Structure 1
Amino acid sequence: MYAISLGEDGAELRPLEPWLAEEFLTHIDRGREFIGQHIALPDRVTDLESSRALLQSYAEKAVAETGRIYGIWADGKLVGGVLFRTMDIEHGNAEAGCWLEPSAAGKGLVTRAARVIIDWAIEERGLHRVEWQVSAANEPSIAVARRLGMTKEGVLRQSYLYRGKRHDIEVWSVLAPEWRAAKQAS
């Protein structure tokens, strides 16, 4: 299995595969409340079977090139992840997302990991547009979109029904020419 370094602090990005279901579940359990503030991942991963099923679904998406999931490890411990919820190679679009347990917050891990997968999607897979959909109340995730150089396109008002309440979703994106220009400028 391969790992991609996320910097001098030793953090790594690795594929999250079905055989890691137990470690994934343990990670979700550690951050269940924090992660579940804005996304349904902890509601979907509740036991070993559901953990394995979610990771298997992403393994199948990877084969079909319709999605991918990666874990972020810090000090040898799974602490978060990034993913392509959707990928449409034919039309050149993908939707990226993230999650993180509280112990890893504020260290730039998600931004660094998202930068790696977005760069791969644009440069290796030839995607033209990467989208980031985020609850308008999720300030840390909005800050990641800004740090990635994404543009806020608009708000889908009350479009996300989560835990019995409707939430606004902000849509952010970056286009391949913008991504490349920002890379050259830095």
Structure 2
Amino acid sequence: MYAIPLGDDGAELRPLEPWHAEEFFHHIDRGREFIGRHVGLPDLVTDVDTGRAHLRRYVEKAAADTGRIYGIWADGTLVGGVLFVGFDAAQGVAEAGCWLEPAAVGRGLVTRAARVVIDWAVEERGIHRVEWHVSSANAPSIAVARRLGMTKEGVLRQSHLYRGERQDMEVWSVLAPEWRAARTPPAPRAETV
């Protein structure tokens, strides 16, 4: 088991695995209404067994190299997560996503966690394009895409049926050269005498 520190505030990023099912369910339950405003996770995770099944699907995706899921822990408590909904190493394209319970909002946890997983995808796995699909109504997630340096590519009008209502979905992305350029500090400029 490993944990990646997300800063000096004790927050950590760790893989979410089936043995976390009870903790995962309680986390989703704490944020059920808040998370469910834009993300369907609370509709899928209704008890410990459905939580375990969801995490098992991501174990299978990881084994097939088609997706991954990570939890964000703050002060020892699971408060959110980031994931690769889709991961196509052959094409060099991945779709990232996130969720967070209300108690953890405003601390930059999702942005910090997304930076870690996107950096891994680009630098370790050779992913060229990371996408972020988000409802136009989900302002916090759009703000994360902006902080990650992503470009809004367009809006898929009424393309997503969520809880009986059609939603516009925005597609944001960052390409590997853009990601690297944003991370690299500018070279020092020569002083003129």
TM-score, structure 1 as length reference: 0.99
Match of 2:183, SS state, is helix
Q: Deviations over 1:113-133 (max 9, x none)?
A: 000000000000000000000
AA at the equivalent of 1:147: R
For 2:58, the equivalent position in structure 1 comes to 58
Match of 2:30 in 1: 30
In structure 1, give the amino acid aligned to 2:179: W
Identify the residue that residue 102 of structure 1 maps to in structure 2.
102
Query: After TM superposition, which residue ranges in structure 1, 4 or more long, deviate above 2 angstroms?
Result: none
2-side partners of 1:20 and 1:133: how far apart?
26
The residue identity in structure 2 corresponding to 1:63 is: A
Corresponding residue for residue 47 of structure 1:
47
State the 1:49 CA deviation.
Answer: 1.2
Task: Give the AA of the match of 1:78.
Answer: L
- The CA deviation at 1:74 is 0.1
1:75 corresponds in structure 2 to 75
Q: Secondary structure at the match of 2:56?
A: helix
One-letter code aligned to 1:133: H
Counterparts of 1:120 and 1:81 in 2: how far apart (Å)? 16
Superimposed CA distance per residue, residues 80-127 of structure 1 (whole angstroms, 9 cap, x where no aligned partner): 000000000100000000000000001100000000000000000000
The residue aligned with 1:85 is: 85
Partner secondary structure for residue 62 of structure 1: helix
Q: Which secondary structure state, in structure 2, belongs to the residue aligned with residue 144 of structure 1?
A: helix
| Cα distance, 1:168 vs structure 2 | 0.3
Provide structure 1 residue ranges, at least 5 long, that are not aligned to the other structure: none
* CA distance in structure 1 between the aligned counterparts of 2:185 and 2:18, rounded to whole angstroms: 39
Q: How does 1:128-167 map to 2 (within 5 A)?
A: 128-167=128-167
Q: Which residue matches 1:20?
A: 20
The percentage of aligned residue pairs carrying the same residue is 76
Displacement, 1:185?
A: 3.2
2:74 & 2:182 partners in 1: Cα distance? 27
- Deviation (angstroms), 1:166: 0.3
Matches of 2:52 and 2:13, distance apart in 1: 19
User: In the alignment, what sits opposite 1:4?
Assistant: 4
1:181 maps to which residue? 181
CA apart distance, 1:48: 1.2
CA distance in 1, matches of 2:63, 2:116: 20
Q: Where do 5+ consecutive residues of structure 2 fail to align?
A: 187-193
Q: Give, in angstroms, the shift of residue 44 of structure 1.
A: 0.3
Which one has a bigger Cα radius of gyration? Answer: 2
